Amino acid sequence: MNSVFNGKAHKITPFNKVWVSSCPADDGLSIGAGLYLYNNILKKKKRYELKHNFFGPDYNSSKIKEDLIKYKVKFKYEKNISQAVSRELANGKLVGWFQGSMEFGQRALGNRSILADPRNKNSKTKVNQAVKYRENFRPFAPAIIDKYAHQYFELGKNEKIPFMEKVVKVKKGKINIIPAVVHKDFSARVQTVDNVTNKVFYNLINEFYKETGVPVLLNTSFNLNGEPIVCSPTDAIRTFYSCGLDILVMDNFIVYK
């Protein structure tokens, strides 16, 4: 979980590639044991590489709609959800983003996330004051389309950080473009997003890129300070109405305050 060290590991060790799990704690032992059995004991011809951590509960559209109706929440169905939400983000709205299967591990990686515009230096303060209520010095993470990561951060062209597990330096020319996700030492805990492991989140960032020219979103976990990350639609609705988020998006349903 020491993302600062993880980001330096390949520079201060003999290893050219450093892979860190999304759940490098006791909870990850289950997945680690399964991977070890499959790859090292059963010795399958094709090794299995852990590329995502979306192993948690999933809620389909019918269940989400059922809960919205049960709680008498007014909602709108949006066919092109990525385009609609990217515009709201570009206009400074804070969005609770609830999609697909929940993440397994300590990081919200685009399925149970709070999202904001990284271009606005006040986005960090807005998220803190409206939702997270945590120490002001703690930075929020940039989620970036993988193929652009090396343009914004000091990374190799094909280097990926899928689990938000490494802190790296932001390139000088990009610091003022995404100030809301840059720490005081000009570093950031990066998450690279590809269109295979999380196509929905990728599409949203890509639409934001079309809208603004910046392929990055501020991404933090969808929860209040001191509470676990939201799991179910009920959790998301309760949290949404307990804080200063502007918009809640679940599947293709949008809820406005």
Tell me if 144 sits within 8 A of 205, measured CB to CB. Answer: yes
**What value does the mean pLDDT of the chain take?**
95
**d(Cα 88, Cα 94) in Å, to the nearest integer?**
8
Bridge partners, residue 131, by sequence: none
The CA distance from 149 to 153, in Å, is 6
Alpha-carbon gap, residue 111 to 102, rounded angstroms? 6
Half-sphere exposure of 130 (CA within 13 A, CB side): 21
By DSSP bridging, strand 216-221 and strand 166-169 are unpaired
- Residue 220 CB neighbours (<10 A): 24
Alpha-carbon distance of 196 to 250, in angstroms, equals 20
The secondary structure of residue 102, as a DSSP letter, is P
Q: Do residues 58 and 145 make contact, with C-beta atoms less than 8 angstroms apart? A: no
177 CB-contact burial (10 Å; exposed 0-12 / middle 13-18 / buried 19+): middle
Model pTM score: 0.95
Element (H, E) at 113: strand 112-116
Which has the higher per-residue pLDDT, 118 or 135?
A: 118
Average pLDDT on 71-95 reads: 97
pLDDT score, position 106: 87
- Whether residue 111 has pLDDT greater than 90: yes
Q: Is the pLDDT of residue 142 over 90?
A: yes
Domain boundaries, the chain: 3-256
The H or E element containing residue 233 is: helix 233-240
pLDDT at 17 > cutoff 90: no
Q: How far apart are CA 47 and CA 57, in angstroms?
A: 26
User: Pairing state of beta strands 253-256 and 112-116?
Assistant: unpaired
CATH of the structural domain 3-256, one choice from 3.30.70.1730, 3.40.50.300, 3.40.1010.10, 3.90.870.20: 3.90.870.20
Q: Are 249 and 81 in contact (CB under 8 A)?
A: yes
Q: C-alpha angle with apex 51: 46 to 57, nearest 5 degrees?
A: 115
Q: Mean pLDDT throughout 29-47?
A: 92
Has residue 117 got a pLDDT over 90?
A: yes
More confident residue, 132 or 92: 92
Tokens 């799991």 label which residue?
231
3-7, 17-21, 199-203: segment of lowest average pLDDT = 17-21
The CB density around residue 158, as the number of other CB atoms within 10 Å, is 9
The rounded distance, in Å, linking the Cα atoms of 115 and 92 is 10
Question: Which of these ranges, 104-108, 151-155, 252-256, has the smallest mean pLDDT?
Answer: 104-108
